A = this chain, B = another copy of it.
Amino acid sequence: MTQLETALAKADENIPAALDRLFELLRIESISTDPAYAEECVKAADWLVAELTDIGFKAERRDTPGHPMVVAHSGGEGRHMLFYGHYDVQPVDPLDLWDRPPFDPAIEDTPKGKVIRARGASDDKGQLMTFIEACRAWKETTGELPGNISILFEGEEESGSPSLIPFLKENADELKADIALVCDTGLWDENTPAISTMLRGLVGEDFTIHAASKDLHSGMYGGPAVNPINVLTRILAGLQDDDYRITLPGFYDGVPEVPAEIKKQWEGLNFDGEAFLNEVGLSKPAGEPAYSALEQIWARPTCDINGIIGGYTGEGFKTVLPAEASAKVSFRLVGTQDPEKISASFRKYVRDNLPEDCSVTFREKDGAGATTLPVEAEEFALARDALSAEWPNEAIFAGCGGSIPIVGHFQEILGMDSVLIGFGQDDDQIHSPNEKYALRSFEKGVRSWVRVLDAL
C-alpha cells in the first residue's frame, strides 16, 4: 500500500467523525451580512482555529474591523500553498421555504443520493472542511501535515469582504505563496471534476431614489407629485434594450468574444442549456439571443436587479405615493471590464435620468473585475491529473459565472494565481432555501484533496 493509498483509506475511515465535525461548524449561524450575527462569526472563527490547532497547524484568529480572519501555517518544506475558504454564510430568508431549520444540519436521503442539508453545507463550510479533513488524513498517515501549507479563512465573503484587501496588504509577506488553492466552486457534473479558470467579476449597486418629503395619498397628489417607484422602474427598465444588451455607455469596453478554440471545447461539453434551466422550473435561455446558455454564464456580462422595494408591500392595498424607493442591482463582468468605470457609468446614467424633484443616494459597494487564470502553469496540470484519478471522468478547465473576488485580490496584491477546485453541484441551492451538499461531494472531495496535496 502506497502512502497515498493509506491516506485515502484513512480519509474514508474518518468520514463519520468528519461529518460530526462539519455539523458542529454548520450549527454556527455565521451570517456575515447581518450585524445581528457578528458573535456567531467569531464563534465560527474560533471553532476553526481549534480544529486546525488540533491537527498540528499553528493557527490564530486575527480580528479585523469586520468579522475575523483565521490564519494557519503548517511550517513544512517545499512548494508553498495558501488554501482559502470562507466560514460565513448567506442569510436564510425566506425561512418558511426551508424544509428544516437551516442551522440544524442533517443527512437526508434524496432521489439523487444522500445529501448534507444546511445553510453553508455547500457554500462554503462543507467545501473548506474537505481540505481540512484531507490534511488530517495525511497527518494521521505520515505523522506530519502534507507540505508547506498556509490557510486563510475569511468571514465576510458573502458581504463584500470589506476587511480583506487591507488584511492582505498588511500581511502580504506572511500570506504570499507559490500558488493559492481555493475551494468555493463546483463539479462540472456529478462524475466530472472541474478547475475553474475564467471567473466573472461583479459590480453591485444599492441605491435609493427620493422624492417627496413624506408618503403622500395618491388621491390628493396623484398626477402632479412625482412617484419614486415609477421613476425607479423607468430607470431600471432602461438598463437593457430589447435584446438584453446593456445600454450603459462604455459597458462593453473590454468584453472579448470567446476564442474559437475555447468555444469549440465548450461545445464539446454538450451542455444542455434547456435541461439546466428545467431543473429550476425554466425552459429557455432568456438572455442575449446570440449566445448559448453556457456562453451567457461563462463569457457574457449581465445586469440583474437583485432586490427592489418601495411603498406599501403588506397585505391589501394602500394608495400611497411613497417618499422613496430602493433597488439593488448587480452587473456580472467578463474580460477586462473595469468595475470602477462601470459603477461610474451606472451612477451617471441614474443621475441623468432623474426627473426634477428627485434625488438619489448610493450606498458604498465594492466591485471586482473578472479573472482569467494561466492554465499552462504546472500546478494546473498536476491538479487536473490528480482530480482525474479520483473521479470517473477526466477533469476539465471550466468557466464560472460567479465572482470569486479573492482570486483577483490574490493576483493583484500577492502576485499569486489560484487553482480553483470545488465539489459543489448546480442544484446545491446555495443562497437559497434548502441548501445542500452531496455526501458524495464531501467524501470524494476529501479524497480529491488528499490526491492534489500529494501531487503538489
Contact = CB atoms under 8 A, between A and B. Distances in A.
A319 interface: yes
Contact of A305 (B213, B238, B306, B310): B310
Contact of A237 (B234, B282, B304, B355): B234
Contact of A217 (B93, B218, B316, B430): B430
A233 B231 CA distance: 10
Contacts of A176: none
Given A214-B432, A233-B308, A237-B234, A225 B277 contact: yes
A357 interface: yes
Given A216-B432, A314-B33, A304 B321 contact: yes
Interface string A338-369: 00000000000000000111000000010000
Interface string A207-218: 000011111111
Contacts of A226: 282, 286
A377 interface: no
Copies in the complex: 2
Contact of A282 (B212, B313, B314, B325): B212
A227 interface: yes
A309 B306 contact: no
Given A229-B305, A286-B355, A308-B325, A221 B280 contact: yes
A326 interface: yes
A313 B317 contact: no
Given A214-B280, A282-B226, A330 B326 contact: no
Contacts of A219: 200, 202, 332, 400-403
A315 B273 contact: no
A78 to B, nearest CB: 34
Given A314-B91, A315-B35, A320 B297 contact: no
A218 B286 contact: no
A160 B316 contact: yes
24 contacts: A33-B315, A34-B316, A91-B318, A160-B316, A211-B281, A217-B402, A217-B431, A218-B304, A219-B402, A220-B297, A222-B332, A223-B287, A223-B293, A224-B276, A224-B277, A227-B304, A227-B305, A229-B304, A229-B308, A305-B310, A306-B319, A308-B310, A309-B309, A317-B328
A29 to B, nearest CB: 15
Contacts of A211: 281-282
Given A297-B223, A310-B308, A401-B219, A433 B302 contact: no
Contacts of A158: 318
Interface of A: 32-35, 90-91, 93, 97, 158-160, 200, 202, 204, 206, 211-227, 229-230, 232-234, 236-238, 240, 273, 276-277, 280-288, 291, 293, 296-297, 300, 302-322, 325-326, 328, 330, 332, 355-357, 365, 400-403, 426, 429-433
B214 A429 contact: yes
A89 to B, nearest CB: 11
Contacts of A220: 297, 401-402, 426, 430
Contact of A307 (B217, B233, B312): B312
Contacts of A426: 220
A296 B223 contact: yes
Q: Which of A226, A240, A317, A400 has the most CB of B within 10 A?
A: A317
B305 A216 contact: no
Nearest to A217: B431
Nearest to A240: B230
A311 B318 contact: no
Given A202-B319, A313-B308, A286 B237 contact: no
Nearest to A429: B214
A312 B305 contact: no
Contacts of A288: 223
A273 B220 CA distance: 12
B318 A431 contact: yes
A212 B356 contact: no
Contacts of A402: 217-220, 319
A220 B160 CA distance: 18
Nearest to A293: B224
Q: Which of A276, A297, A316 has the most CB of B within 10 A?
A: A316
Nearest to A330: B319
